[in-house]
Copies of this chain bind each other. A is one copy, B any other.
Amino acid sequence: MPTVTMIGGGQLARMTHQAAIALGQCLRVLAASDADPAAQVSADVVIGSHNDLDALREAAAGAVALTFDHEGVPLEHLRALEADGVNVAPPSKALEFAQDKMAMRVRLSELGLPVPAFVDLAGDRAAARDRFITFGDDNGWAVVLKAVRGGYDGRGVWIIDDRDAGLAAFDAAAADASTILMAEQKVPMRRELSAMIGRSPFGQGAAWPVVETVQRHGQCAVVLAPAPDLPAETAETAQQMALSLAAELGVVGVMAMELFETFDGDLLVNELAMRPHNSGHWTMDGAVTSQFEQHLRAVLDYPLGDTAARSEVVVMANILGAQQSPAMSMDERLHHLLARMPDAKVHLYGKGERPERKIGHVNVVGRPGEDVVSVRERAERAATWMSQGVWTDGWDPHGDDVDTAGSGRRSR
């Protein structure tokens, strides 16, 4: 059976390896260290940096496809690998739009896809600062400043509410000469959605149900599948946008299109990720085909799998490292959770506990007839327990602990 190489040894590679095993394969991983989540569990690990072309070449040798756990590989290295004849999936010509938020915004605008108003802040810093001030004034300083490259889970993103804070954020970010900036409008919105699809080189596309992503402290906390009360035509529009964009860009693999749903029910594209994505973790237990299996099928140019949900409601909640490490070990917390919720599906990443770090997730697949409030309550209670070692009453559907401001994060 063929070998697929994944660059990066994080949890996405770890879970892709699980899917590779069923397909008769072993995922080869380029990891920074043998303690990386995927390197802990795969028999085929190359230790090296994704910034080192020699390491990339070593990892690619003999593999039928080379794919990614993250967006960090320099484009010039990917082009060099392609020149070597390596099957880079997604190819560099697609991946550049996932790596460069400004290029993505421009390309999406050209294709007629709806995006928030934005401004390019590259080039001369003084001129960029002036453009930023004009853009901020034009948008009442409800703006988001972003690093064009490398940000996710709230990193490289600054949400601005007024002129002073905006300029302070700009000056701080601009102090690093290597940081290229852009800004966009902070969109008033009802909620964030994600449309995940898979696309093969042959051109087959398949979309999972559109989900709602609940953000807290700048990163994805909870995913509701499908997005509750989303009109069918809006869901179809989101799926079609993702499928047609993937075809336009030549994406290979799975792709998440993160979206804002405005109060008018319109959609705006926020971010793109051309790899397995936090908003697709629910598929591991809740869909016929998981995003990890689908990603492998796509990069291998296998036919894609059935994307139907296995239940009317599935909720994923991230397990985050707590501010204070719980007295109970992770193993003990898991023991208690399994006792309390025999149907909770726990996925742990083998990562050390640090505050706000994603160290695992819990999927709860709704029982027949169970509504989203109940499934969400169970999933959040499970994740909070695993994170903090305290049982809460679960999620309060009338509470308001959620980021409501429009933002421009991208999730791992």
Q: A18 interface residue, CB < 8 Å from B? A: yes
Given A22-B346, A346-B22, A348-B23, A303:B40 Cβ within 8 A: no
Q: A2 interface residue, CB < 8 Å from B? A: yes
A334 to B310 CA separation, bound complex (whole angstroms): 23
A345 to B23 CA separation, bound complex (whole angstroms): 9
* Most chain B beta-carbon contacts within 10 A, residue among A45, A289, A342, A343: A342
CB of A95, distance to nearest CB on chain B (Å)? 25
B43 touches A330 (CB 8 A): no
Of B22, B289, B342, the residue contacting A305 (CB under 8 A) is B342
The residue of chain B having its C-beta at the shortest distance from the C-beta of A22 within the complex is: B347
B24 touches A348 (CB 8 A): yes
The residue of chain B having its C-beta at the shortest distance from the C-beta of A19 within the complex is: B18
Cβ contacts under 8 Å, A308 to chain B = 343
Number of interface residues of A (CB under 8 A): 46
Given A338-B303, A348-B1, A14:B21 Cβ within 8 A: yes
Cβ contacts under 8 Å, A2 to chain B = 331
Given A23-B334, A40-B26, A350:B18 Cβ within 8 A: no
Given A306-B343, A338-B297, A343-B306, A21:B41 Cβ within 8 A: yes
Q: A406 interface residue, CB < 8 Å from B? A: no
A330 to B2 CA separation, bound complex (whole angstroms): 10
Counted per complex, copies of this chain come to 2
Cβ contacts under 8 Å, A73 to chain B = none
The residue of chain B having its C-beta at the shortest distance from the C-beta of A64 within the complex is: B331
CB of A42, distance to nearest CB on chain B (Å)? 6
Cβ contacts under 8 Å, A26 to chain B = 40-41, 350
A41 touches B43 (CB 8 A): yes
A185 to B24 CA separation, bound complex (whole angstroms): 40
CB of A188, distance to nearest CB on chain B (Å)? 39
Cβ contacts under 8 Å, A232 to chain B = none
In the complex, chain A residues 1-60 whose Cβ is within 8 Å of any chain B Cβ: 1-2, 14-15, 17-18, 20-26, 34, 39-43, 45
Q: A282 interface residue, CB < 8 Å from B? A: no
The residue of chain B having its C-beta at the shortest distance from the C-beta of A293 within the complex is: B345
A338 to B296 CA separation, bound complex (whole angstroms): 12
Given A23-B348, A342-B306, A346-B23, A331:B17 Cβ within 8 A: no
* Most chain B beta-carbon contacts within 10 A, residue among A289, A303, A347: A303
- A residues bordering B, Cβ < 8 Å? 1-2, 14-15, 17-18, 20-26, 34, 39-43, 45, 288-289, 297, 302-306, 308, 310, 330-331, 334-335, 338-339, 342-343, 345-350, 360, 365
